[in-house]
Structure 1
Amino acid sequence: MDSAEFVRSLVETAIASSAAILLVMLLRRVLRAAFGARLAYAAWWLVPVAIIAVLLPAARDGAVPPSVQVLMQAVMPTTGSALDATSTADRSAWLFAFWLAGACASALWFLGQQRAFRRVLGRVQARGDGLFQAQSIAGLPAVMGVWRPRIVVPADFDDRYGPEERTLLREHERAHIRHGDLQSNALAVLLRCVFWFNPLLHAVARHFRHDQELACDQRVIARHPQARRCYGEAMLKTQLAAQPLPLGCHWGFSHPLKERIAMLKVPAPTKRRRLAGAAFLLVFGLASAYAAWAMQPGDAAAIPAGNIQVKLSLQIDDGAIQENTYVVPEGGRFVMSATAGGHEWNIDATAAPGKDELLMFDSRLSRDGKLMEAPKIGLRNGQPGVIQVGTDHSAAGGKFEGVRIEVTLTQSGPPVAVEANADPAAALAPPAYPRQAVEQKLDGTVMLLVDMDADGRVTGVQVDHAEPAGVFEAAAIEAAWKWRFTPARKDGKAVPGRVKVPVTFKADRPAAGSATPKA
């Protein structure tokens, strides 16, 4: 994944996570009243689920809201109006660097908070009952550590709390450990570092922690229903912390104790209500994840009108494959550069609409500034094609020597399906003779490389060479897409294949010139 694709994914997941957060904020109190605090806390998992859903392969024809399209087109490098590779790469690289600096700064900030809380505790010593005792009292008891959690109690733990209160406090912190609340807090910190630029994520962090504490309170009371009063008194005796604890759970950093104590009076939901709430949340979560996946734009949906998206994959000999994506105006020029084998390679190309719903890729391949080839290819919208310049020795157990270019051209709108000509009499219908060639009485030959599927339908057309260059290629490619072939057979079954088709243009033939393909 290059920097442009990373920034694109970052924007898409930020939009999806923000929508999920707003949804949770609307539902949390309703879920708490109907199914209990534990279900309201579980609803926060909709946020990472939405992020994962967006990272799955996109629905190409999803109905993206116009406002989302505008936002994505404004900030994502791959959907801008870049005229060449340099401007696109520079913009995406700067955005990636800016994001990385913010993510690192956020991580350092949270690390500073964690260390500040730890310093306030003073010396922490192990007790005989498996707990750890600090020299301070603020914000304790607390459980610290993501992978090896330990419960830390205040210096006056044995004096301030009675025996039953100490039992309930230990139960509370152990409930955090059993239900993975420390790992959930670590995930929340990670998301805040990744999406440091999203103020909504930071604003709702305290609501997430509050729902976490309410859920933990409900679990403890469910196991000790007769200890509500004692549990509430223990809350009132606890001192609020002066520092937040990002990676841990403690009794409070500005926790609304009034609401927590009021929740102790609410009867615990029955098992049937909890199951109904879990079923509702599961169905709702799956529906939300599907909506997030389906609403993300596919490649074609993110292309501004009047532009063509070009996906290029370049391989020199058997070296590493280098990929890039550009969005250029129709007929616009772009350049892809690569270094391989001690040489500087450049593809200087244009992409423009052609006839018969084809998109034309016209390129000049140079090595160290010297022109090597000028390959052209006509492609259907959204369908890949391959250009090979060199010799393929793979059939004899050798390697490919040369340049292999895979290109996909996509206009705004869904890809156009290939419709093969079903009329056998027109299976190799000749191409139209270019008017300019007729007037100048030009002859010529175009050697086409035609790919076909197992049904003989054309799936790709490439110019191998043409004489003279730049005269007859477009007409030959346009005709080739209408052809149909008898595919080769292997083990009695038709298989896809590639054939070379020479197309000869003779201006001195009847009917003001004609062209004849030979399969």
Structure 2
Amino acid sequence: MGTLQRRADGSWQASGDPGLPALVGVWRPRIVVGPAFDQQFSAREQALILQHERSHRRHGDHWANGALLLVRTVFWFHPLLPWAARRFLRDQELACDARTIASQPALRGLYASTLLKAQLVHPVAPAVCHWRSQPVLKERIAMLKQSRRKALPWVSGQVLVVGVCVGMGAVAWASQGSAVAGPVAAAVDREIQVDKMPPPSYPKSAVEQRQVGVVDLRVEVDAQGQPTDVRVLRATNPGVFDAVSIAAARSWTYRPAMRKGKPVAGAVKIPITFAMDDTEDAQ
């Protein structure tokens, strides 16, 4: 590049042109332009080029290119590395183009014409971020023709994420059914007791098919010892034993929980096991 001179815009001007403009260096990266930079590009074109190279520097692309050069040095023998390196640099330039033009979409045409004016005609160093990249020039210009990302897919994605979070929260809340009536249960002197538990009837269809299973119930009991709500928390054979389990729980006799010597409402979790012996009797 020859001798470098500092420019008023913060970039450096070289006396030679090995594929400039480019972001050069890893430890102290500098934006370096060629000797004919002012003559070749207008003021608006120069601003776009410098904005592009500043985006490279701001996002650490010079560090990424340095790491890529190290990988290519160590794994020089790998047959897929040249292809992977080309794809890496291609995506890097496309991403930088998108960042540069995102805030000023009206300048897409000027940006594309500036790319065309800067055809790469000289060999360049392997670890720098070049404004001119002839192998992907056609693709870069084609990408500039695409409209900005529509809001609908983004909104749909956000709605999906929120829906998943709400669903997971609902599952987590439902799984807390094994806890007994929250703060009431934690402070009671005596838990809910069941005095009489006549076993549920074994469904005829389950007997015929020799089905077994376990049903976990959550029974809410008021201060008078009456079951106010019975629900199934979990069933190993859903739909087979649910109805008979709920009916049985509603017929049981309960003693309410006690707190400070007074009966209080609460809830209790009761598992019911449906099994069959060799004579097909319900247990």
Aligned mates of 1:270, 1:177 — CA distance in 2: 28
Give the AA of the match of 2:89.
R
User: Which of 1 and 2 has higher RCO (CA within 8 Å, sep 6+)?
Assistant: 2
Aligned mates of 1:195, 1:172 — CA distance in 2: 30
Distance change (3 Å), C-alpha of 1:248 and 1:271: farther
Contact persistence 1:139–1:253 (CA under 8 A): no
Aligned mates of 2:48, 2:133 — CA distance in 1: 20
Task: Determine the structure 1 residue equivalent to 2:144.
Answer: 264
Distance change (3 Å), C-alpha of 1:268 and 1:247: same
Distance change (3 Å), C-alpha of 1:197 and 1:147: same
Task: Determine the structure 1 residue equivalent to 2:52.
Answer: 172
Mapped pair 1:225 → 2:105: yes
Distance change (3 Å), C-alpha of 1:272 and 1:150: farther
Contact persistence 2:119–2:134 (CA under 8 A): no
Contact persistence 1:141–1:250 (CA under 8 A): yes
The structure with more strand, counted as a fraction of residues = 1
Contact persistence 2:115–2:132 (CA under 8 A): no
Distance change (3 Å), C-alpha of 1:272 and 1:180: farther
Contact persistence 1:141–1:151 (CA under 8 A): yes
Contact persistence 1:218–1:268 (CA under 8 A): no
Contact persistence 1:241–1:253 (CA under 8 A): no
Distance change (3 Å), C-alpha of 1:272 and 1:198: farther
CA offset at residue 253 of structure 1? 4.6
Aligned mates of 2:93, 2:81 — CA distance in 1: 19
Aligned mates of 1:146, 1:271 — CA distance in 2: 37
Q: Which runs of 5+ in 1 are unaligned?
A: 1-120, 281-519
The C-alpha deviation readout for 1:111-140, integer Å capped at 9, x for no partner, is xxxxxxxxxx22221112211001234521
Match of 1:199 among 75, 79, 102: 79
Match of 1:182 among 62, 67, 85: 62
Distance change (3 Å), C-alpha of 1:213 and 1:179: same
Distance change (3 Å), C-alpha of 1:192 and 1:153: same
> What stretches of structure 1 move > 4 A for 4+ residues in a row?
270-277
Sequence identity of aligned pairs in percent?
47
1:393-404 equivalences in 2 (<5 Å):
none
Aligned mates of 2:55, 2:107 — CA distance in 1: 16
Aligned mates of 2:19, 2:154 — CA distance in 1: 31
Task: Determine the structure 1 residue equivalent to 2:130.
Answer: 250
Match of 2:19 among 139, 156, 166: 139
Alpha-carbon RMSD: 2.5
The C-alpha deviation readout for 1:320-376, integer Å capped at 9, x for no partner, is xxxxxxxxxxxxxxxxxxxxxxxxxxxxxxxxxxxxxxxxxxxxxxxxxxxxxxxxx
Mapped pair 1:215 → 2:92: no
CA offset at residue 199 of structure 1? 1.6
Aligned mates of 2:151, 2:77 — CA distance in 1: 41
Q: Which runs of 5+ in 2 are unaligned?
A: 162-283
